[in-house]
Amino acid sequence: MRKIASGGLRPTSDFLYWSERDAIREEVFARDLPFCVWCQNELGDHRSNSYYSADHVIPRSEGGWYHPDNLALSCQPCNRERGNRSILQYMVFRAQRSYIARPPG
């Protein structure tokens, strides 16, 4: 396992113990407000129906680390929908989808 000095996981490694992964996710949940960064729905902890997802700001496929500095809270539907799009790509996607859903006029 290739760990970075302040914890987390380099993008070239796929192995992280569940306890390490959960500790990083709990740190992000404690740091951020409990709302999805994309749709602003309120999120709950692992015991709730609106369980949060740790969204990689820079996707792992683009070299992003599994580290608190590269994670933001999102709901699971938004995280799945974003996939490995960049933040800008996903914002454009959401804006286009919203525009199509509400045509001008």
Boundaries of every domain in the chain:
18-101
User: Each residue of 55-98: pLDDT tens digit?
Assistant: 999 998 888 888 999 999 999 899 999 999 999 999 999 998 87
| Residue in this structure with the two tokens 């602003």, named with its chain if needed | 40
Fold of 18-101: DNA Binding (I), subunit A (1.10.30)
User: 16-52 as b/e, with b when 16 or more CB fall inside 10 Å?
Assistant: beeebeeebbeebbeebeeebbbeeeebeeeeeeeeb
Put simply, whether the predicted model's pTM sits higher than 0.85 gets the answer: no
Instruction: Report the sign of the C-alpha dihedral through residues 28, 48, 38, 87, in that order.
Output: positive
89: left (phi over 0), alpha (psi -120 to 50) or beta: alpha
